[in-house]
Structure 1
Amino acid sequence: MHRRRRSALLLTAAIATAAPLLTACGNDAHPGAAAVVGDQRITVSQLENRVDEVREAQRAAVPDDGQYQQVVARSGALTRDTLHGMVLDRVLHSAAAEAHVSVSRKEVQAMRGDLEDQAGGAEQLETVWLQQYGVAPGRLDDNLRVQLEAQKLAESLDTDTSRPEFWQALSKASDKLDIDLNPRYGAWDVQKAGRVDSETPWVREVAEAEPSQQTA
């Protein structure tokens, strides 16, 4: 179980990247899209809804205005990190399918039960995942499925999620999917299988939080 938990934390932590806030024009090639992954679009609306889910859960957990603003400030990169996670989920699923790896609902529930035992209950586990990884309670099972899929993919490659072989598989899947991010959120680095900052000259850094984060 400890190995499972380390794998889960490793992959979840990999989603978070420290980066300056960005603002830019929309992606003219894919209007309304935050990202295009293969033949699937992640719309700006879908991304904003995911971010709103987290903000609403954070607000419910921290009713005090001052404390809530501190929570928002600590998770200022939430929009970009959320998009990173949404894209990485699809990359991982593609790599897992290529390796004939799948995860059952029973496996997800077993993992959740183990983690709830460690955390001290279902509510405590949801709080940990919300506070540490920006996962809304309603998305917890989906996130655990991703963790299990990553673990099983790594095992099929005779490695683990911290090893280069695992990330090479994600890099290969990224390349096949031809991922295109809206420049306002950065770009997708195929070799790293992760989001990076855009270097286009018309993208500028800003000191304040993104509008969707301020009003969430």
Structure 2
Amino acid sequence: MHRRRRTALLLSAAIAAAPLLTACGNDAHPGAAAVVGGQRITVAQLETRVDEVRAAQRAAVPNEAQYAQAIAKTGTLTRDTLHNMILDRVLQHAAKEAGVTVSRKEIQQMRSGLEQQTGGPEALEATWLQQYGIAPERLDENLRLQLEAQKLATRLGTDTGDRVFWSTLSEASKELNVDLNPRYGTWDVQKSSRVDAKTPWVREVTATGAQEPA
């Protein structure tokens, strides 16, 4: 009998639970949407990611009216996508510092479990696109992000909703000196929330048959 396992999805719900990113708000990096650890996330890279989502949304609906509705529901897609791109690097840094790694096999195990829950590969891709703004070609990358977070929390002896976990990510973002282009918003450390964004960051999904990473 399959055990039902809960997996924290670091996509969109409790970002307001703890400070993570800071924005310097300067023009020292022209053409950059953000700079993380001295490495640029260019505006072109960001636009490519957004275009991937829009193309997938357009392919998923039969007419322009429904496509317009999909766009209206994801009006903050550009900022949310940038947030996830920055978060990916911050989490990778924190995971590396903690000695956490994720294998391809673990990603496939997680994906298989979620496919069983949602009704197959296409249903899983549609769910991630509709609910989280993740293009199908980025699904495995996102699952790696989830597994890194889950394993990091385990290494810390906590979970992804705990203050210790968020403090670790906050420290990682400070070490990487995250510099966010002000056109995409800022991070209010005092209030522990991003200005201009109401997007949640952590959702709970129960994956039937998904395997816990070792």
Give the corresponding residue for 2:74. 75
Matched, 1:38 2:33: no
Equivalent pair of 1:89/1:146 in contact (CA under 8 Å): yes
Aligned partner of 1:108 in structure 2 is: 107
Shift of 1:2: 4.3
The sequence identity of aligned pairs, in percent, is: 67
Alpha-carbon shift at residue 160 of structure 1 (Å): 0.4
Give the CA deviation at 1:55.
0.2
Cα pair distance change 1:139/1:37, threshold 3 Å: same
What is the Cα deviation at residue 27 of structure 1? 5.3
CA, structure 1 residues 51+181, in 2 after alignment: closer, same or farther (shift >3 Å)? same
TM-score if structure 2 supplies the norm length?
0.81
Query: Quick check: 1:180–1:188 contact (8 Å CA) kept in 2?
Result: no
Q: Is 2:133 aligned against 1:134?
A: yes
- Per the TM alignment, residue 12 of structure 1 is displaced from its structure 2 partner at its CA by 1.2
CA distance in 1, matches of 2:94, 2:161: 16
Match of 2:93 in 1: 94
What RMSD in Å do the two structures reach over aligned CA positions? 2.2
* Cα deviation code 1:86-109 (max 9, x no counterpart): 001100000000100010000000
Q: Say which SS state the counterpart of residue 157 (structure 2) adopts.
A: coil
Question: Structure 2 CA distance, aligned partners of 1:15 and 1:71?
Answer: 23
2:15–2:193: 8 Å Cα contact kept in structure 1?
no
1:160 partner amino acid: D
Q: What does the per-residue CA deviation read over 1:129-157, in whole Å, with 9 as the maximum and x for residues that have no partner?
A: 00000000000000000000000000000
Would you identify which runs of 4 or more consecutive aligned residues in structure 1 move more than 6 Å? Answer: 191-194
Separation in 1, partners of 2:36, 2:81? 15
In structure 1, the residue corresponding to 2:40 is in which secondary structure? Answer: strand
Indicate the structure whose relative CO is greater, using CA pairs within 8 Å and at least 6 residues apart: 2
Report which stretch shifted further, 103-112 or 61-70: 61-70
Residues 171 and 192 in structure 1, CA contact (< 8 A), matched pair in contact too: no
- The residue aligned with 2:167 is 168
Count, aligned residues: 187
Once the two structures are TM-superposed, the CA of residue 194 in structure 1 deviates from its matched residue by: 6.5
Q: State the secondary structure of the residue aligned to 2:11.
A: helix
Q: Higher helix share goes to which structure?
A: 1
Deviation at 1:16? 7.8
- Give me the whole-angstrom Cα distance separating, in 2, the residues matched to 1:193 and 1:148: 24
Structure 1 distance, partners of 2:112, 2:161, is: 24
Structure 1 CA distance, aligned partners of 2:15 and 2:157? 26
Cα distance change on mapping 1:36 and 1:189 into 2, 3 Å: farther
> TM-score, structure 1 length as denominator?
0.81
